Structure 1
Amino acid sequence: MSRVVPYGDLSSCTLIVDGIYESALDCQLSGERINKLLPGSGNMGEGRIAGRGQDRNWVVLYTKEHDLDCPDTLDPSTGLFTYYGDNKRPGRELHDTQMGGNALLRHAFDRVHADQHPRVGVPPFFVFRKHPTEHGARSVQFRGLAVPGFPGLSATEDLLGIWKSAEGQRFQNYRAHFTILDVPVVEGLWLDDLAAGGSMTEHAPHAWREWLTKGHYLPLTAEPTTTIRSVAQQTVDSKLEADILAAVWGHFNATPHAFEAFAARIYQMTDTRVVVDEITRGVVDGGRDAVGRYSLGLMSDPVHAEFSLEAKCYRLSVVGEGSPVTVGVKDVARLISRIRHRQFGVLVTTSVVSKQAYEEVREDRHPIIFISGRDIAEILIKKGYNSRSRVESLLNNEFGNSGGKDG
């Protein structure tokens, strides 16, 4: 479990990765914790800048991770943190924001790729996320020390201006890629140095020194201890996700064969290198609802790994309406039997994969990708289909009116 530091405990000023720092119980802004840990950061906003002019002491990136239009994400296995800027209202220029967050992002990434003295003047970025507890609704969790850019990403890839829409109006925002550095603990002595205007002191973490002086990224990577997700982890856990998945189920439940093309589209949404070659006909599919390729290597000279996809439009898990129809061992065995040498399988379901089926696949090392009902909802939200009406519009426009009934 993560370490929880009570609000009144100010004896330690260190920042511990994934440590939870509780706010005051009264929910007032004065009891917000980030400004106590990093004085001068302020207590409002998603991008909080300490320091004046171009010389910044540090920047706090505060993420709620549930923004429907701009969902920040952290991949613990690689250390890649994707952050969206602070222009989230139509009618404003990309850099014309109240807190100046997007202008700071532009400056920081420009300095990373500068021809002369690269990275000089780039402040450290401290990533926190909202993490309410029973003792403090404004409690936060420290996610790590971040720097702009990521290994392998070029100057045209790590900071992108993208268009979004809200209530029919468009706005432009930044999508920035950061690396969480391998710094498990940020010592208070370095925080004091930063407050005094110095980042390259004797107390600076090794990973920060390597990046600032040499441009070497030393990411904090964390391999998962298990690859078997429980039924609960595959089940939607918010009203929005439940509404979106219900829209999908309601569209296809009367004609499950029509779900196959949608399932293939969902898998395509996960990676631009996925190519779907054919949606097979139900009478001759041989256990495969779709077939395709995944491109590896150079785009100009790719190597392809072929896959077979199977779609299962099974009854959802709805509170108070009985248990879901789970994907079982027989369902998975059917897909495994169709996978040839050097191929992999993809199973997409509106429901969940049973514990036994999941365990057998992982323990026997079968190359099967599982996409459950919760995954479907999360993929759609990430791609901008972040309301039931938007999902229904996608289904009706691209997959026809199947005439299914909700539930």
Structure 2
Amino acid sequence: MEEVPFSEVARTDLVIDRKYAGGVAGNRGDDPISKILPVGNAGGFRFLGSPTRGTVRALVLYTSMADLEWPDRLDLGAGTFTYYGDNKKPGRELHDTPRKGNLALRDMFRDAGSAERRRRVPPILLFSKAGRGAGVAYRGLLVPGAATVPPEEQLVAIWRSSGDERFQNYRSLFTVLDARLVTRAWLDDIRAGNPMTMNAPRAWSVWVRTGMPDPLLAPRSVEHRTREQQLPSSRSDIELLTTMHRHFAERPTDFEYCAAHLWWMLAPATDELEVTRPSRDGGRDAVGRYKIGPPADQIKIDFALEAKCYGPTTAVGVRDISRLISRLRHRNFGVLVTTSYVHAQAYREVRED
């Protein structure tokens, strides 16, 4: 889709994944979100109304999708969005944040579970950074929770540490509703404080009445990613990958420890992970166990991890993948971590097997 010019964002509809250009003045006034709805022009939580007074008419969640410590994640196949709260430094109580984002999360998830209070949950619009400058993309209309996840796992207060100080923040799970279009007429209704009109998307109205979310499911149309899709595209990410490869190029054994930590960050359900000794690894750089199932009744599955510190022009090929697969035992799975990409033939063979 063509990018909506900055001069028109205040009058246009919101369409899934459409980009909206920012201004060029070089200040906060370049933000297109504040032109779409008057919710302010800074922060991940942007309110139309006050969360402390209970007068929020709309909430915009904005994410750069680039914070490795707090990895917001849009799962297109499942129609869900994982978002982290705004208590990201020690020194404050969980809900005592300047923008009151965690307070809003607590209240929304509480109200979403009650038929009587669900109307209090404001429409939630998701935007992510996209394009040049202050440009954004509209990613969907959200409601708290997901039908496939137990209520106690939809909003979780997790512990983190910075230095020798500990603090809590929220990890929240939303459903992206099957609402491909949010009209300007409904945005005007929201602004006027009356979202329950004929202009409201059907999926949102059904959720308010029944509490049953209808997710926007978008499974991948291709079964393997190209080299360009696997490698980063932004300048900062390319620089990070290049720096990592350069750092470990002459010390591939040290990269195994880095790869193990990266996997643990991406897969927090990992229960055990041990980097093997180079002389006794049996062809496996690390071994571990992964938890699946509900918290009260989990089982653990063994896995083997292989780390490949290759340059961006050297693909992980069929031979590398076959080496990892040959080390797997019954009921094992394999993990590959690389600074490069997987060759198309190897990728296809793994998908087909």
Judge same fold: TM > 0.5, yes or no.
Answer: yes
Given the superposition, is the C-alpha separation of residues 168 and 246 from structure 1 closer, same or farther in structure 2, using an over 3 Å criterion? Answer: farther
Whole-angstrom CA distance in 1 between matches of 2:43 and 2:335: 40
Structure 1 residue 214: Cα displacement: 0.9
In structure 1, the partner of 2:79 is 79
The one-letter code matched in structure 2 to 1:148 is P
Whole-angstrom CA distance in 1 between matches of 2:174 and 2:183: 21
In structure 2, the partner of 1:212 is 208
Whether the 8 Å CA contact 2:145–2:175 is kept in 1: the answer is yes
- Please state if 1:235 is matched with 2:231: yes
Pairing partner for 2:171 from 175, 189, 192: 175
Given the superposition, is the C-alpha separation of residues 83 and 261 from structure 1 closer, same or farther in structure 2, using an over 3 Å criterion? Answer: closer
Q: Which has the larger radius of gyration?
A: 1
- Please state if 1:314 is matched with 2:309: yes
Local SS of the residue matching 1:67 = coil
Local SS of the residue matching 1:56 = coil
Whole-angstrom CA distance in 1 between matches of 2:197 and 2:57: 13
1:118-148 deviation per Cα after TM superposition (whole angstroms, max 9, x unaligned) = 4231101111122243xxx222111111111
1:160-204 deviation per Cα after TM superposition (whole angstroms, max 9, x unaligned) = 233444566554332222111111101222222222222222222
Whole-angstrom CA distance in 2 between matches of 1:310 and 1:70: 24
In structure 2, the partner of 1:380 is none
Whole-angstrom CA distance in 1 between matches of 2:56 and 2:206: 20
The one-letter code matched in structure 1 to 2:217 is T
In structure 1, the partner of 2:349 is 360
Whole-angstrom CA distance in 1 between matches of 2:255 and 2:129: 36
1:56-81 deviation per Cα after TM superposition (whole angstroms, max 9, x unaligned) = 21111121222354332211111221
Given the superposition, is the C-alpha separation of residues 184 and 164 from structure 1 closer, same or farther in structure 2, using an over 3 Å criterion? Answer: same
The one-letter code matched in structure 1 to 2:316 is V
1:35-74 deviation per Cα after TM superposition (whole angstroms, max 9, x unaligned) = 2212x31223321111353132111112122235433221
Pairing partner for 1:195 from 182, 191, 195: 191
- Please state if 1:152 is matched with 2:148: yes
Whether the 8 Å CA contact 2:176–2:216 is kept in 1: the answer is yes
Q: Mark the runs of 5 or more structure 1 residues left unpaired by the alignment.
A: 318-322, 367-407
In structure 2, the partner of 1:15 is 14
Given the superposition, is the C-alpha separation of residues 245 and 274 from structure 1 closer, same or farther in structure 2, using an over 3 Å criterion? Answer: farther
Structure 1 residue 252: Cα displacement: 8.0
Identity %: 41
1:233-272 deviation per Cα after TM superposition (whole angstroms, max 9, x unaligned) = 433555467557755874684463x655665554444334
Q: Mark the runs of 5 or more structure 2 residues left unpaired by the alignment.
A: none
The one-letter code matched in structure 1 to 2:155 is L
Whole-angstrom CA distance in 2 between matches of 1:124 and 1:51: 12
Whether the 8 Å CA contact 2:9–2:32 is kept in 1: the answer is no
Whether the 8 Å CA contact 2:306–2:324 is kept in 1: the answer is no
Deviates more, 1:264-273 or 1:55-64: 264-273
Given the superposition, is the C-alpha separation of residues 189 and 335 from structure 1 closer, same or farther in structure 2, using an over 3 Å criterion? Answer: same
Q: Please, what TM-score do these two structures have when normalized by structure 1? A: 0.73
Whole-angstrom CA distance in 2 between matches of 1:30 and 1:248: 39
In structure 1, the partner of 2:130 is 131
Whether the 8 Å CA contact 1:249–1:350 is kept in 2: the answer is no
Given the superposition, is the C-alpha separation of residues 225 and 171 from structure 1 closer, same or farther in structure 2, using an over 3 Å criterion? Answer: same
Whether the 8 Å CA contact 2:57–2:193 is kept in 1: the answer is yes
Deviates more, 1:290-299 or 1:211-220: 290-299
Whole-angstrom CA distance in 2 between matches of 1:70 and 1:242: 20
Structure 1 residue 15: Cα displacement: 0.6
Cα-Cα RMSD = 3.4
Local SS of the residue matching 2:35 = helix
Local SS of the residue matching 1:220 = coil
In structure 2, the partner of 1:120 is 119
In structure 2, the partner of 1:381 is none
Structure 1 residue 303: Cα displacement: 6.0
In structure 2, the partner of 1:141 is 137
1:221-300 correspondence runs (5 A): 221-236=217-232, 237=234, 239=236, 242-243=239-240, 246=243, 250=247, 253-254=250-251, 256=253, 263=259, 266-274=262-270, 287-289=283-285, 294-298=290-294
In structure 2, the partner of 1:59 is 59
The one-letter code matched in structure 1 to 2:55 is D
Local SS of the residue matching 2:185 = helix
Structure 1 residue 232: Cα displacement: 3.6
The one-letter code matched in structure 2 to 1:4 is E
In structure 1, the partner of 2:2 is 3
Structure 1 residue 208: Cα displacement: 0.8
Structure 1 residue 31: Cα displacement: 3.9
Aligned length: 350
Pairing partner for 1:41 from 28, 33, 39: 39
The one-letter code matched in structure 1 to 2:195 is S
Local SS of the residue matching 1:97 = coil
Local SS of the residue matching 1:160 = strand
In structure 2, the partner of 1:371 is none
